Chains A and B, each alone.
Chain A
Amino acid sequence: MTTLTTSTGAQYARILGTGSHRGSRVVTNEEMCTMIDSTPEWIEQRTGIKERRWATKDETVLAMATDAGRQALERAGVNPEQVGAIIVASVSHHIPSPGLSDYLARELGCPSPATFDISAACAGFVYALTLAESLVRAGHAGANGFVLIVGVERLSDMTNIADRGTAFLFGDGAGAAVVRTSQTPAISPAVWGSTPENVKTIENQRWTDVPDGDTDFPVIQMDGHTVYKWALSEVADHAGEAIRAAGITPEQLDIFLPHQANDRITDAIVRHVHLPESVMVCRDIAEMGNTSSASIPIAMDAMLHDGRAHSGQTALIIGFGAGLVYAGQVIVLP
């Protein structure tokens, strides 16, 4: 009988360093209300958003991913040559092939990593982290065992400014993290999945349906009522499951960092999971808008930089969005 060799990995993995790039054009609610029929107060009361960041023409998804990726590599003390795999989570890369991860590898000067993109909407970053952790633990992260993960979006391109339900929601940016082996547990089991019966609840138009001359990109279409109901019930349940799967109690959690979809959803999840007041809750949507797969890593990077979060603290991250998909886990911050 022929016996194959199999890969040997590591027991644990962790995030080593983060980086981020926000779109540099600040669009306040006041400016938004010159484009849509609404009031700044209504937008803020409904979503928690005061302003959002849109990318300028030069801030392509590649440019933003490169900036965030470079920062994460520097902070983790990793050379581009050491990166064994790059995973990009995005719905904003509009070329079917090659993936954005390939262009990113070239920009960063990574000679030959395994590169692939994933499309998991607003759960994209947590999906990418779960994959990166799996690669490291299975021994598929290259000779040095470093994986770069990036969540990057230009949702302003895909916003239908005439849609009163979504026009004010979305933003642009990129967040990145380096994942590597760890001596101690730092990433808990992923609680992830989908509800395929809701596949049309949040859906981009098809390219072939984009009317000539009206928009350049397929716009996002969303049934907000169904999303809200799902988030406060099922996603909240999954958040509780993720805490239990990590083997900790809510009292042992330092930070709650949900996908920044809507501050009212964040509030509802905090209520339904009964998170104690000691848990720091991230509400960065106020200045970011909803940046889909980029929202968690951008907020994580910001919180580490401004001191709201510290190395070694535990954070529950949970992404949820189009699919409808969700993914949550508890991590130890770099």
Chain B
Amino acid sequence: MADNTASTAEILTKIAEIVNDVAGVPNEDVKPEKSFVDDLDIDSLSMVEIVYSLQEAFSIDIPDDDVKNLRTVQDAVDYIEKAQKTA
């Protein structure tokens, strides 16, 4: 069992922190059901930076092909949890 695996809550907090830093969205608005593009108004340039920052924060790789499936915050949480398990 890996010690450095973040919990679901920790992952969500980190995503909110990154989204706030990159796109100025208030942390409390970054909820699991929210869509990055439609609800949080994040454009593709910010998405590139958010994905990069998530890779750095969780030491995982997120190939470009997988990014288009990260439509909601929950999608990102699930992806990171899965990536951590297989890392």
Contacts and interface: CB of A to CB of B under 8 A. Distances in A.
B22 A228 contact: no
B43 A45 contact: yes
A268 interface: yes
A46 B21 contact: no
A271 interface: yes
B68 to A, nearest CB: 12
Interface string A257-276: 00000001000100100000
B48 interface: yes
Contacts of B49: 232, 268, 271
Given A45-B43, A46-B43, A228 B48 contact: yes
Interface residues of A, number: 10
Contacts of A25: none
Q: Which of the four size classes fits the interface of chain B?
A: under 10
Contacts of B48: 225, 228-229, 232
B45 interface: yes
B52 A232 contact: yes
A233 interface: yes
Contacts of A271: 21-22, 49
Interface string A214-230: 00000000000100110
Contacts of B43: 45-46
B40 to A, nearest CB: 15
A46 to B, nearest CB: 7
A229 B21 CA distance: 17
Interface in B22-59: 22, 43-45, 48-49, 52
B45 to A, nearest CB: 5
Contacts of A45: 43
A162 B64 CA distance: 26
A46 B52 contact: no
A30 to B, nearest CB: 21
A81 B53 CA distance: 53
A228 B45 CA distance: 8
A45 B43 CA distance: 10
A271 B23 CA distance: 11
A229 B22 contact: no
Contacts of B21: 271
A250 B45 CA distance: 26
Given A229-B52, A232-B52, A233-B52, A264 B22 contact: no
A206 B12 CA distance: 48
Interface in B42-87: 43-45, 48-49, 52, 64
Contacts of A228: 45, 48
A268 B22 CA distance: 8
Contacts of A225: 44, 48, 64
A268 B49 CA distance: 8
Contacts of A268: 22, 49
B52 A264 contact: no
Nearest to A225: B48
A243 to B, nearest CB: 19
Interface string A134-152: 0000000000000000000
A233 B22 CA distance: 14
Given A229-B52, A232-B52, A46 B22 contact: no
A271 B20 CA distance: 12
A225 B21 CA distance: 20
5 contacts: A225-B64, A229-B48, A232-B48, A268-B49, A271-B22
Interface of A: 45-46, 225, 228-229, 232-233, 264, 268, 271
Given A228-B45, A229-B52, A271-B22, 9 more contacts: A45-B43, A46-B43, A228-B48, A229-B48, A232-B48, A232-B52, A264-B45, A268-B22, A268-B49
**A-B pairs with lowest CB-CB distance, top 10:** A264-B45, A232-B49, A268-B49, A228-B48, A229-B48, A233-B52, A228-B45, A232-B52, A271-B21, A229-B52
